[in-house]
Chain A
Amino acid sequence: MTGFGQGGIVASGRPGDLARAALPFLSVFVLICVDLAPLPSAAPTTIAPLLSLAAIFYWTVQRPDLLGNGLTLILTLLLDAASGMPLGLTALALFATRLVLLAPRRFLSSRSFAVLWACFCLVAMLLLGLRWVIACLFWQEALPLRPVLFEILLTIAAYPLVSLALAFLLPVLPKPSHAASRG
């Protein structure tokens, strides 16, 4: 139930701080819109990277105080509702992955980009694979696996670009206060 505002940002009550603290949420929201934007494709469905997932991972590692579980739940529900997937599908896969990777998260925050990218590979495989399993169970249908594998590869490949773009926002964000330590 953490979110932007925790650790004194809201308590300070300054609208400027609030707006800047909302940037991680807004950036993920914009990337959800990009994920949903139809791309020209020769197939009925476009296999594209899930940019919003890369952004959620980035903020979870860099500033978990500004994008907590509550806001992440809202964002994943928005993604599911707008993309026509069952409400809760992405949220379930994402939070189950978080639960599995809870212990290594402290280890992640201080590592180099290469280590973070490697960890993101693991997260993307686990999360999107889990989402495929849940979807198969939900519809009781063996859905094709190949598009999911392509989606995983594309999402992993897109991570450097997403993290590079989001890194520009880091200096603008309010400084983490004592109470909002990484967790």
Chain B
Amino acid sequence: MKIAFVDRFVQFGTALRAAGERPVLVAVIGVAVLLLVLVRFNVRVIEVVTDGIADRMVPAVALVREPIALTRRIGDQIGALLAVRAENERLRAENRRLLEWQSRAVWLTVENRSLRTMLDMTTATPETALTTAQIVADSAGPFVHTRLIDAGRDHAIEVGMAVLTPQGMVGRIIDVGARSARVLLLTDFNSKLPVIIERSGDQALLAGDNTAEPKLQFLPMNPRFAIGDRVMTSGKGGVLPPGLMIGEIARIDGGRVAVRTFVEWPTVDFVSVLRHAPLPAPESDTDGGLEPTAPELEPEPALADQGGADLRGIGQPGALVGLVGG
């Protein structure tokens, strides 16, 4: 029965070939154009199909990438062994620097708490949690700067969530399948993020342009920042939490301000998705109280299985800076 159906399909193909290949090619080009038009108008069916395909491709790509990852790990191990003495010195120096920062952070926390008490300010902040995922696929081309990760709806990942490495923010989630999600990198020309410059407090929009260094747009009239100032998310719009480290100002060339991201791209293999619920809209605050309620996050099964990995404290102001700060 199945063979007969395939034979009929083959006969149809043969009939088409008899008519010449040109009409077939024109028909296929028509299908491709139609698909592009549907994608352009964000037709939901196409999104579902694309996410479904990406989901199913993940195991195959993961299988192929394993030998590449193994070779890389062996190379890293050999490199680490050769550089162990220098690395030890570097870590000692870093440890000294971090201890200084720790004492400063403790002092700032105490000061912050007392100031909040004096102002009778609420300390409630939206709860956050992290989900760790592995990057399984690249964008296989120069047009889009995206990555496919092996965690999706099943791991409570949602569109808009920030994606981080220990060095800084990588990007945000733009598509979610059941077992995979697509990350739009900060450098993609479609990426636009509200940011703040740490030292000067200037606010701007960080826009990717498909180069390694995204640019700052919509700067204030008299900006006070300088080269080397750190750039972090401002939290404007309530989609991303404030204080996620992004990078530092690398170049100021006339009106163009380029930001060098903190992320070490060659080592990005695992990322953390910050499961931060966006702030609720003012209309949804039905009780009219001044106390904002923290949106509840569903516990992520994988984290619960690993002994709970209590990461909820990272929602506190400053803690996020510590989490991804350079």
A contacts, CB < 8 Å to B:
1-3, 5-6, 10-11, 13, 29-30, 32-48, 50, 68-70, 73, 77-79, 81-89, 91-92, 95-96, 98-99, 102, 131-132, 134-135, 138-139, 141, 143-144, 147-148, 150-151, 179, 183
Contacts and interface: CB of A to CB of B under 8 A. Distances in A.
B13 A70 contact: yes
B83 interface: no
Contact of A34 (B64, B139, B267): B64
Given A92-B32, A95-B25, A41 B142 contact: no
A81 B49 contact: yes
A73 B27 CA distance: 11
Contact of A44 (B31, B72, B141, B187): B187
Interface in B14-51: 14, 16-17, 21-22, 24-26, 28-29, 31-36, 38-40, 46, 49-50
B28 A37 contact: no
A88 B36 CA distance: 6
A137 B194 CA distance: 27
A50 B141 contact: yes
Contacts of A44: 145, 185-187, 212, 261, 263, 265
A61 to B, nearest CB: 14
B234 interface: no
Interface string B139-181: 1111111111000000000000000000000000001000000
B29 A1 contact: no
Contacts of B3: 10, 13
Interface of B: 3, 6-7, 9-10, 12-14, 16-17, 21-22, 24-26, 28-29, 31-36, 38-40, 46, 49-50, 53-54, 57, 60-61, 63-65, 68, 72, 135-148, 175, 182, 185-187, 189-190, 210-212, 261, 263, 265-267, 269
A179 to B, nearest CB: 7
30 contacts: A2-B17, A33-B60, A37-B68, A38-B138, A38-B147, A39-B68, A44-B145, A44-B185, A44-B263, A44-B265, A45-B210, A47-B142, A48-B138, A50-B141, A81-B54, A82-B137, A82-B140, A84-B175, A85-B139, A86-B35, A86-B36, A88-B33, A88-B35, A91-B31, A92-B32, A99-B25, A131-B143, A143-B189, A147-B210, A179-B14
Contacts of B140: 32, 35-36, 48, 50, 79, 82-83, 85
Interface centre among B35, B63, B148, B267 (most CB of A within 10 A): B35
A30 B65 CA distance: 11
B138 A46 contact: yes
Contact of B10 (A10, A73, A135): A10
A44 to B, nearest CB: 4
Contact of A78 (B57, B68, B139, B147): B57
Contacts of B189: 139, 141, 143
Contacts of B182: 84
B64 A37 contact: yes
B13 A1 contact: yes
Contacts of A48: 138, 140
Contact of B40 (A39, A46, A47, A86): A86
A69 B7 contact: no
B26 A84 contact: no
Given A92-B36, A98-B25, A144 B211 contact: yes
